[in-house]
Amino acid sequence: MQHYWFGDVSDDGQCVQAPSDIAALASRFRSLHPDMAGLVVLSVDTAIACGWVPDRPEYIRRLRKVCIAIAEEEIATYYAQSDRELLQMVRMLDEMDSVVNLLSERATEWYIVRNPGFSRKYRAITAKKMVARMKGDSSTPLSRVAADIERISATRSALMRDVSSLADRVAPNCSALVGGLVAARLIAKAGGLRELASLPASTVQVIGAENALFTHLRSATPPPKHGIIFQHRRVHNAPKDLRGRVARVLAGKLAIAARIDYFRNEADPEFLESAQARIDGAGADT
Amino acid sequence: MIRIDGVLVSPGEGGVYGERMLKGYRVWDPYRSKLAALVHSGKAPDLLFGMVVLYLGAANGTTVSHVADYVDTVYAVEYAPRPMQDLLEVARRRKNVVPIFGDATRPSGYASIVESVDLLYQDVAQPDQVGIFMKNAAFLKESGIAVLMLKARSVDVRRDPAEITRETVAALEAGGFLVGHVCRLDPYHRDHAAIVVTRR
């Protein structure tokens, strides 16, 4: 017996047609996983002999309808996952960061042309103050640009808070361990919560340090100790010789947290407490 | 295959991805499409009017649209949702493209809809490209031809692409296939090799 999308065909050529509406055909298709070993590859002639369609063009027309309907549904389900938007938000955030930096650097150069005596040396002027100063240079083209840069930075800060709070909801355990922003960055780098949850801890440890990792694999440089998780205070505050250990422990707990987040999607206080204790313990010199 | 003043083109409705038009034909750029690059090498199997093609790794449907201009039917398999959106748009306009949201590593997922094909074309960024090819060869007719676009960097970034190509060819031959032609796609595509295969 062969099971095709249009019906079941027995070995002696007897054929039972499937119901013909698209939704039923789509769900039939999903349930069919013929064994490749015993497979008799479909022939359109069989479908015609079966009385399913009069000719090949009609066969292809109907098959296309079903396939397009299935694909549309799968795509819709995929984008309905809660981490899809988070991914775009994190990437937009990083993009805005680099845009703001580029723009303010360029604007500073412009400002110096207009104010030849100016220098940033010995004055500790942050980029933000610099932009504010340029904006004060009343209603010139430069001040208009500076005002826009300020607006983008404001949008960026708001977006950062949004990312953090969305991450709290999408990945409560990861967010509790390393904060919403770092958790969101991990998810974005991994390509999604499901993807992060299926990574081994050793990979989680070096997500974001791909350059160092591949340089290490190609040549004799030391392996990276940490990637994005360096941003966690327990890692970057740890003394240099303990950082590797802290990063390793943190990554281990994060890998577990990601799995709890993906499969249960709720905070697990008991796990969080023991994980936190373990991470704090790893930083203590023994 | 149609060439106009040495430029590879395909007949069909233009404007799929902003491709240039030449005397009413769509220019098929070897820098964008690996199959076009293989055609430039002169050793690509001809795309004929009556052919049925199984295309694994259809991506955004760029190459698929050109293949569909030449052949009868293209079964286009893609696994990632984002490129699938573009492929669907191509399939809505091109009535001989059957878009399949499926995983080429698990052909049983679409075995209930794919008929036997004259050409199996595989362009997937996966480590086990030979394994995927072997599984999907079930759909290939006895007289069929297969083209395997080997992405050496997806098999192993750390190893020499030429060595990976040699290994792949050996694996295909051990699997009962006849390797007709192997060609590097330089300068159009780096670290890619095209392998043209028939059944022994």
DSSP string, B101-129: E--TT-GGGTTTT-B-EEEEEE----S-H
Sort A208 into a burial class: Cβ within 10 Å, 0-12 / 13-18 / 19+.
buried
Give pTM, 2 decimals.
0.83
Q: Report how far residue B18's alpha carbon sits from residue B32's, in angstroms, rounded to the nearest whole number.
A: 12
CB contact under 8 A, A75 and B135: no
The number of domains in chain B is: 1
Whether B178 is covered by a domain: the verdict is yes
Chain B contact for A214 (CB, 8 A cutoff): yes
Tell me: the pLDDT tens digits for A112-121?
888 888 888 8
Each residue's pLDDT, cut to its tens digit, for chain B (200 residues) gives: 899 999 999 999 999 999 999 999 999 999 999 999 999 987 899 999 999 999 999 999 999 999 999 999 999 999 999 999 999 999 999 999 999 999 999 999 999 999 999 999 999 999 999 999 999 999 999 999 999 999 998 998 889 999 999 999 999 999 999 999 999 998 899 999 999 999 98
Cβ proximity of A245 and A281 under 8 Å? no
Can you say whether the dihedral through the CA atoms of A195, A196, A202, A205 is positive or negative? positive
Nearest residue in chain B measured CA to CA from A34:
B108
Mean pLDDT of chain A: 91
Tell me: the pLDDT tens digits for B131-190?
999 999 999 999 999 999 999 989 988 899 999 999 999 999 999 999 999 999 988 999
Cβ proximity of B101 and A71 under 8 Å? yes
Whether B6 is covered by a domain: the verdict is no
Which runs of E-coded beta strand occur in A135-257?
none
Task: Give CA angle at B167 (B161, B173), nearest 5°.
Answer: 135
Read off φ and ψ for residue A105, nearest 5 degrees.
Answer: -65, -45
CA dihedral A30, A31, A37, A39 (to 10 degrees): -80
Q: Report how far residue A158's alpha carbon sits from residue A152's, in angstroms, rounded to the nearest whole number.
A: 10
Whether B88 is covered by a domain: the verdict is yes
CB contact under 8 A, A3 and B85: no
Chain B contact for A91 (CB, 8 A cutoff): no
Q: Which residues of B are less than 8 Å from A78 in CB distance?
A: 81
CA distance A118 to chain B (A): 48
Say if residue A137's pLDDT is above 70: no
Q: In what order do the strands lie in the sheet with A7-9?
A: A2-4, A7-9, A15-17
CA distance A35 to chain B (A): 6
Chain B interface, mutation test: which of A43, A50, A60, most B Cβ atoms within 10 Å?
A: A60
CB contact under 8 A, A72 and B88: yes
Q: Report how far residue A38's alpha carbon sits from residue B118's, in angstroms, rounded to the nearest whole number.
A: 21
Whether B194 is covered by a domain: the verdict is yes
The contact set of B with A (CB < 8 A) is: 73, 81, 84-85, 87-88, 91-92, 95-101, 107-109, 111-116, 135, 138-139, 157-158
CB contact under 8 A, B91 and A64: yes
Whether B15 is covered by a domain: the verdict is no
Q: Which residues of A are less than 8 Å from B98 in CB distance?
A: 60, 63-64, 67
What CATH number does the domain containing B69 carry? 3.40.50.150
Whether B187 is covered by a domain: the verdict is yes
Say if residue A285's pLDDT is above 80: no
Mean pLDDT of chain B: 94
Cis upstream peptide for A116 (omega within 30°): no
What ipTM score was computed for the predicted complex, to two decimals? 0.94
**Residue B8 DSSP SS3:** strand
Can you say whether the dihedral through the CA atoms of B186, B190, B191, B197 is positive or negative? negative
A vs B: CB pairs below 8 A = 83
Q: Which domain holds residue B53?
A: 30-199
Chain B contact for A41 (CB, 8 A cutoff): yes
Whether B102 is covered by a domain: the verdict is yes
Whether B4 is covered by a domain: the verdict is no
What's the pLDDT at A286?
Answer: 57
* Confidence class for position A123, pLDDT limits 50, 70, 90: confident
CB contact under 8 A, A41 and B116: yes
